[in-house]
Amino acid sequence: METINFTINLAPEVKNFNQFEDYLVKEIRLQVCELIVRYLAVWDRKLGNLLRQRYPQYRFQGFIRRKVRCYFGTIWVKVRRYCHVGWRDVYPLLYVLPKDGLSIQLRDLILELVTDVSYQRTNRYLKLATGVDLSGRTIWRKVQRLGQEERNRREAVRHKIFEAGRDEFPQDYHQLTQRENRQPVYLEVDGTMVSSQERGEERFEIKTGIMYSQVQQIGQRRWRLSDKVLYGRVSKGLTFGEQFYAFCRERGLDLRRKLVLVSDGAGWIHSLAENVFPEAEKRLDLYHLRRAWETVLDEAEAADLALAVVPESGAQMIERIQEIYRLKHLSGESVSNLIQYLINNRESIHYPPGERHGSGGVEKNIGILVGRRFKKQGMSWSHEGANNLLALRAKKLNQLWQQELEALNYDR
């Protein structure tokens, strides 16, 4: 093992700790960058010698310069060029340098920052932490490329299932435990609006879904979804359904287990449930059901319905509400809308004891995935820009960075 030593001469004008720290950081960055350049020069010479041993026809023909940004700063590297008439030029050191000029550590730091804060703040924090000055536009381009690669990988999984008809995953072949047989897998789906940059469009919807099965109580009215994974995308309802299904299958969804899809009963979710998750038990979120009937019923009637909603079926609930309308001679658009809402979701009005009846999990995670990054003051998005950043932010929140480095081209 080789030992690396360097000396830092403390400047006499250093008077306090802040000056000392600032001077020390700058000197360490400077000396480490100089050290990297020296070691790369030695490495370049060794690689050139190996090339000429195997292909003696190649001759050294000078240098080219390449910029490399790393955790310690920006460095310029001289790369040897080898030529032979009729053959392509060879630059051996380029095979070991980062192909896009960013080191793994620096790119990882950029992605950690940009998935939480704006591109401009990422630029500022990056410069403070590493001394590297990358413009917000350059960071944006990196995010678009990496996000598109992640989306392409997800699309390949969707295509495999829905176009090629190969819906097989490792979890389909292991024996279910008693706990897995007994415990449902919950799927929750919802959407939220964000400001748009698209021409003629003020806002658009980001659809979000979560999957989990293990629920832990951590307070009187607080629960933790300990095995939750989440997904977000800007797309049409059925397209999102296929993408969410493919994501869940890749993340371990076993179709032999009981599936429960909880939602607020929106039309696009109802269509998604029928076409993409037909085997799942549909369940209308209790909070949205109560809020719907409270728009037309008084407090006492709403309280009576709240007591009856768990033991009764959807059809019985509709009959009960229609009877209230007949006795009170109620009519109008709000009444018709409520009845239609209940009819559309009558099969979802079913609440077995001991299971989850609300979609609070997805609403909370919409705030985490979308609200904390996409809905800050002054922010607006294109569909493509939102989708690319969503792919990376969901990957981070699902703690998949280390598991899928190759998918993000962390090969150098």
Neighbouring residues of 56: CB distance < 8 A, sequence distance ≥ 6 = none
User: CA 139, CA 28: separation in Å to the nearest integer?
Assistant: 25
Q: Is the pLDDT of residue 87 over 80?
A: yes
Residue tagged 């009558």 (tokens): 346
Length of the chain in residues, anyone?
Answer: 412
Percent residues over pLDDT 90 in the chain = 60
Average pLDDT for 267-275: 91
- Report pLDDT digits (tens) over 70-83: 999 999 999 999 99
User: CA 381, CA 275: separation in Å to the nearest integer?
Assistant: 30
What letter would DSSP give residue 99?
T
Domain boundaries, the chain: 17-103, 150-399
What band does 331 get if pLDDT is binned at 50, 70 and 90?
low
Please spell the DSSP secondary structure of 188-209, one letter per residue. EEEEEEEEB-STT-SEEEEEEE
Reduced to 3 states (helix: H, G, I; strand: E, B; else coil), residue 66 is: strand
- Report pLDDT digits (tens) over 374-398: 999 899 999 999 999 999 999 999 9
Average pLDDT for 86-102: 93
Other beta carbons within 10 Å of 227: 14
Region of residue 231 (phi > 0: left; psi between -120 and 50: alpha; otherwise: beta)? beta
Reduced to 3 states (helix: H, G, I; strand: E, B; else coil), residue 403 is: coil
Tell me the one-letter amino acid at 315. A
What band does 310 get if pLDDT is binned at 50, 70 and 90?
low
| H/E segment holding residue 261 | strand 259-263
Q: Is the pLDDT of residue 46 over 90?
A: yes
Among the listed residues 257, 170, 244, the one whose alpha carbon sits nearest the alpha carbon of residue 213: 257
Among the listed residues 38, 45, 47, the one whose alpha carbon sits nearest the alpha carbon of residue 76: 38
Beta-strand runs (E) in 106-240 = 185-195, 203-212, 215-217, 223-225, 229-233
The pLDDT score that the predictor gives to residue 100 is 86
Among the listed residues 117, 115, 116, 121, the one whose alpha carbon sits nearest the alpha carbon of residue 136: 121
The pLDDT score that the predictor gives to residue 412 is 36
Q: Is the pLDDT of residue 323 over 80?
A: no
What band does 410 get if pLDDT is binned at 50, 70 and 90?
very low
Average pLDDT for 112-135: 93
User: CA 185, CA 260: separation in Å to the nearest integer?
Assistant: 6
